[in-house]
Amino acid sequence: MPAQLLREMLQEVIGAHISPDLDPGVTGVTQDSRSVTPGTAFVALPGFTVDGHQYLESAIANGAAALIVQSDRAQLWQPVADAHSDIAVVSVDDTRAALPRISAAFHDFPARKLNVVGVTGTDGKSTTTYLIHAMLSAAGHRTGLLNGVEFHVGGKWTQNETGETTPEADIIQAKLAEMVAAGDTHAVLEVSSHALELHRADEINTRVAVFTGLSDDHLDFHGTRENYLAAKLKLFHSLDDNQIPISPREAGGDVAKRQRGALRATAVVRAEDPLRDTITSAHSQQTVIATATPGTTADVSVLPGSQDARGSDVRFVTPAGALGARLRMPGDYNLGNAALAAGAAWSLGVGPVAMQTAVNNLRPVPGRMESIDAGQPFTVIVDAAATGPALELALQTLKPHVTGRLILVFGVAGERDPIRKSSMASAAARHADHTVISNENPRSEDPVEMVDEIASHFVESGGTSFDRQPDRREAIRRAISLARPDDLLLIAGKGAEPKLIYADRVEPWDDREVTRSLVAELLSR
């Protein structure tokens, strides 16, 4: 991309102060000093464990043309500014708030050129984004996708290797710009509460905001459930700032609608969600009500027929008609995800034919109730359930379809809300016939101590049949060795995550590939 003048990029950043009086051409924007190349503007973010202001010299050594720093960190950046008078230093009140605005300006505000769908909630976000992406694509729209598992830009899939459900704002804006350049017209984004609170999701100009629900999680970060909800609601508040005029074609023969410049920003929420009214009142735009519950009044419905451990026969019901399909994802909660996806797609003009096509031809959602079949005489499923409510739903969904035993492997991510240890252990104790307790991403926590703590919660919840195995590979191996014909083995917590994170190292990992390898090893014996 051609260089942009720094001062032009800063026009929408209130209170930005440039010193000295320089206006360099900027060739990129990043918050990672390792990614700086000659001409880059480096934005120093104050992190939770590492402060970006400590890497200003490194950014300069890599060729930074400008440093964006936070006013209250002058003790860190002022000596650097004094020593490098040829580098533009821009001080702002909040570098996190400035990053999305500077990044969007550098890329000429790509989100304004796309129909952006943002999906937020505690669980179900990734699956819902895949479903929306499939429905929009089936309707003929060139559609990009950014979620915690993968990116889809200009028709190409790549893995999300950032380790974040929602990447930092500079990455988001760069990806949106790639979509625009590639001819994409729509974009679907998974939007976490952290992203909303930390400004990563600023400047994405959401046209459709989808709410998958709320349960207690991330309270280590947000403090209270009220704060957690407030973060989620920011996506819906933003709908009033992202109003998009309806074109004459969309307005059709409705003269009054054309005259008043009617707007089509939309929220999508389930009819049965206890926060339905809260979501509806968080904005002044339209709300589409979706449901997967028979007999419930809604704008769009996905109604279940026969169900088994591999999926459900469903019927999409819209004002434009109804059609049947096969949803290859089990569980009522996935019916709910499909209903939300249909509601979002409907709000963007997608009808039941495209919904049917999308669901019938849906490629497996990576690590979401994904079946692993290597010819073994028992069922193996990998799922990303990483919270108590998510694991509860997964186990409740699978249990009725198991004629043998339900064997579970799970761990709990380190440095996350402590409630996960007790809530996931409790779900395992209630529903699994045998559990192998292991690790997920221990990070700075001690892996052995974590397993012991989870085991104590498991016993307190009435669990009796279990093994402790901190090594996740050996835990999966143990579970496979126990499985017999008609058993079902659920490997929960990581899904398609590509890394196993310890305090001192990061290992390449994929629950699916590890499981396939270990099952093949068993069969070869």
SS (H, E, C) 253-278: CCHHHHHCCCECCEEEEECCCCCHHH
Separation of CA 53 from chain center: 28
- Looking at residue 51, the DSSP 8-state letter turns out to be B
Distances (CA, A) of 139 to 178, 284, 351, 460, 513: 21, 28, 8, 51, 33
Q: What is the pTM of this model?
A: 0.85
> Is 50 exposed, middle or buried (CB count within 10 Å of its CB: 0-12, 13-18, 19+)?
exposed
Confidence at residue 15, expressed as pLDDT on a 0 to 100 scale: 87
**What is the rounded (10 degree) CA torsion for 81, 83, 88, 89?**
-10
DSSP string over 86-145: TSEEEEES-HHHHHHHHHHHHTT-GGGGSEEEEEESSSSHHHHHHHHHHHHHHTT--EEE
Confidence at residue 14, expressed as pLDDT on a 0 to 100 scale: 84
Contacts of 77 (CB under 8 A, 6+ apart): 44, 53, 56, 67, 69, 70, 89, 91
What angle is formed at CA 465 by the lines to CA 459 and CA 468, rounded to 5 degrees?
75
**Could you read off the pLDDT tens digit of each residue along the chain, which spans 525 residues?**
788 899 999 988 888 999 888 899 999 999 999 999 999 999 999 987 789 999 999 999 999 999 999 999 999 999 999 999 999 999 999 999 999 999 999 999 999 999 999 999 988 899 999 999 999 999 999 999 999 989 999 999 998 888 788 999 999 999 999 999 999 999 999 999 999 999 999 999 999 999 999 976 655 565 687 888 999 999 999 999 865 555 444 445 444 443 334 457 999 999 999 999 999 999 999 999 999 999 999 999 999 999 887 889 999 999 999 999 999 988 888 999 999 999 999 999 999 999 999 999 998 888 989 999 989 999 999 999 999 989 999 999 999 989 999 999 999 999 888 889 999 999 999 999 999 999 999 999 999 999 999 999 999 999 999 999 999 999 999 999 999 999 999 999 999 888 899 988 999 999 999 999 999 998 887
271, 302 contact by CB (below 8 A): no
Q: Which amino acid is present at 255? A: V
Instruction: Kindly state the tokens that stand for 216.
Output: 């207690």
CA–CA distance, 154 with 186 (Å, rounded to integer) = 11
Confidence at residue 249, expressed as pLDDT on a 0 to 100 scale: 44
Q: Which amino acid is present at 365? A: V
CA–CA distance, 481 with 261 (Å, rounded to integer) = 64
Compute φ and ψ for 118, nearest 5 degrees.
-110, 130
β-pairing, 206-211 vs 266-270, is: parallel
Instruction: Kindly state the tokens that stand for 43.
Output: 């934005």
